[in-house]
C-alpha cells in the first residue's frame, strides 16, 4: 500500500507538450520528463511511453507554459509564464500570468563528472561498473537534487495552508539533459588543479571559465536610473522636504564634549576621599561635644556619599 502523504496529479496531453517545448527551448535541454524516483513511494507506474511525463507533485499552483525571459530581473533563471490554480473551473481567470524563478540542480556531482567517474554516453545493455555507478546515482530517491525538490514542495504546502509565509510557492519540477551546465568551483580550484586528471580532462570533458571578482561585483549591481536634480528638487518642494547645508552644521553641538569624564572606580575613590575628608572634619567638630562617636559618624558618611556618587554616575550616563 502506497503512502499518500504526498499527492500526485496528472498533466493533460496538451500541457505536457507545451511544457516540454517551452523548457527544452529556453533551457537548451532534451529528454524532458516530470518523473523523478521518489514518486515511486506514492504511485505505481506502468512501463509505457508516457508515464515519465504524465505525473507531477500536486500543488496549489502549477506551471502550464513559459512565455519569455523576465524583463524585471536580469537573470537566465527568471521567466514570465502562466500558472494555473488547482480546482479553478473559471475559464476567464484560469491562467494567471506570473513571474517564475527556476533553480537548476545537477543529478551527478560536478567534481566526479570532470574526474570521469561517470558514464555519460552509454546506451549499452552490457555490464559496466561506470554505467552502474551513473544509473545508481540518477535513480536513487536519496539523490540531493530530489531531496531538495521534495523539501521545496513540502515547504510550499506550509505557505498554502497559511502556517508559514517564509518559503516560495512550488510550481513544478522537471528533468532533462542540458547541453551545457556551469558550476562554480572557486572553493575547490586550488586543491583540484594540482591533480593530473584535471589537466588531462581540461578541454575534453570540461572547459574552464575564469571570471574576475571585479566583473562579478559589477554584474551583480543593477543599472540604476540617473537622478534628475531639478526634478528631484521640485518633488522635495511639493513634499515639504527641506534642503540641508551640511557645511553650516556646527559639529560641536552634535558630538559630546570629549573632556567630560566617564564615571569610573577612580572617580568614585576621589570623591569618596574628598567626602571622607569632609566627614573627618565633621567628626573633629563633633569630638568636642561627643567623645567616642566620631568613628561611627565617619562610617555612616562614607556609605551615604558612595550612594550619592553612584546616582550621579547613572544620571550622567543616561
pLDDT, tens digit, for every residue of 235-270?
A: 777 777 777 776 766 666 655 555 555 544 444 444
Look up cell 564634549; give the residue. Answer: 257
Residue 282 has a pLDDT of 52
pLDDT band at 211 (very low <50, low <70, confident <90, very high): confident
What is the distance between the alpha carbons of residues 246 and 256, in angstroms, rounded to a whole number? 18
State how many domains the chain has: 1
Mean pLDDT across the chain: 79
- Is pLDDT at 118 greater than 90 in this prediction? yes
Maximal CA-CA distance, the chain: 118
Domain of residue 54 covers 1-107+143-181
Taking only the tens place, the pLDDT of each residue in 41-64 is: 999 998 988 889 999 999 999 999
In DSSP notation, 71-83 reads SSS--TTEEEEEE
What is the distance between the alpha carbons of residues 132 and 138, in angstroms, rounded to a whole number? 10
In-domain check, residue 129: no
Look up cell 517545448; give the residue. Answer: 21
Lateral strand order in the sheet of 61-69: 61-69, 78-85, 95-101
What is the distance between the alpha carbons of residues 81 and 70, in angstroms, rounded to a whole number? 9
Residue 4 has a pLDDT of 55
Higher pLDDT, 124 or 254: 124
In-domain check, residue 51: yes
Contact (CB, 8 A) for 82 and 67: yes
In-domain check, residue 252: no
In-domain check, residue 253: no
In-domain check, residue 189: no
Taking only the tens place, the pLDDT of each residue in 2-44 is: 555 789 999 989 999 999 999 999 999 999 999 999 999 999 9
Taking only the tens place, the pLDDT of each residue in 187-200 is: 999 999 999 999 99
What is the distance between the alpha carbons of residues 19 and 33, in angstroms, rounded to a whole number? 10
What is the distance between the alpha carbons of residues 301 and 313, in angstroms, rounded to a whole number? 19
What is the distance between the alpha carbons of residues 17 and 24, in angstroms, rounded to a whole number? 11
What is the distance between the alpha carbons of residues 108 and 177, in angstroms, rounded to a whole number? 11
In-domain check, residue 19: yes
Look up cell 525538490; give the residue. Answer: 149
Residue 228 has a pLDDT of 76
Residue 295 has a pLDDT of 46
Amino acid at each position: 500500500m502506497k503512502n499518500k502523504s504526498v499527492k500526485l496529479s496528472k498533466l493533460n496531453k496538451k500541457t505536457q507538450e507545451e511544457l516540454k517545448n517551452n523548457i527544452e527551448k529556453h533551457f537548451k535541454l532534451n529528454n524532458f520528463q516530470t518523473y523523478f524516483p521518489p514518486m515511486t513511494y506514492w504511485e505505481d507506474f506502468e512501463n509505457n511511453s508516457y508515464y515519465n511525463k504524465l505525473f507531477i507533485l500536486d500543488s496549489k499552483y502549477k506551471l502550464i507554459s513559459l512565455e519569455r525571459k523576465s524583463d524585471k530581473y536580469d537573470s537566465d533563471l527568471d521567466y514570465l509564464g502562466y500558472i494555473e490554480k488547482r480546482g479553478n473551473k473559471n475559464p476567464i481567470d484560469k491562467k494567471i500570468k506570473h513571474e517564475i524563478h527556476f533553480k537548476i540542480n545537477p543529478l551527478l556531482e560536478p567534481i566526479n563528472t570532470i574526474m570521469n567517474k561517470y558514464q555519460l554516453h552509454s546506451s549499452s545493455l552490457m555490464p559496466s561498473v561506470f554505467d552502474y555507478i551513473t544509473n545508481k546515482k540518477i535513480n536513487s530517491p536519496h539523490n540531493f537534487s530530489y531531496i531538495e525538490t521534495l523539501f521545496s514542495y513540502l515547504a510550499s504546502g506550509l505557505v498554502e495552508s497559511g502556517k508559514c509565509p517564509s518559503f516560495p510557492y512550488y510550481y513544478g519540477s522537471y528533468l532533462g539533459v542540458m547541453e551545457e551546465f556551469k558550476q562554480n568551483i572557486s572553493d575547490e580550484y586550488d586543491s583540484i588543479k594540482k591533480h593530473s586528471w584535471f589537466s588531462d580532462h581540461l578541454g575534453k570533458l570540461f572547459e574552464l571559465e575564469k571570471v574576475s571578482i571585479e566583473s562579478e561585483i559589477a554584474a551583480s549591481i543593477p543599472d540604476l536610473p540617473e537622478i534628475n536634480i531639478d526634478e528631484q528638487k521640485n518633488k522635495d518642494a511639493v513634499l515639504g522636504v527641506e534642503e540641508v547645508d551640511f557645511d553650516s552644521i556646527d559639529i560641536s553641538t552634535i558630538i559630546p564634549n570629549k573632556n567630560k569624564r566617564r564615571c569610573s572606580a577612580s572617580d568614585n575613590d576621589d570623591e569618596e576621599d574628598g567626602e571622607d575628608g569632609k566627614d573627618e572634619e565633621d567628626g573633629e567638630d563633633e569630638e568636642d561635644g561627643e567623645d567616642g562617636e566620631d568613628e561611627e559618624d565617619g562610617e555612616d558618611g562614607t556609605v551615604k556619599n558612595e550612594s550619592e556618587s553612584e546616582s550621579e554616575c547613572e544620571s550622567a550616563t543616561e
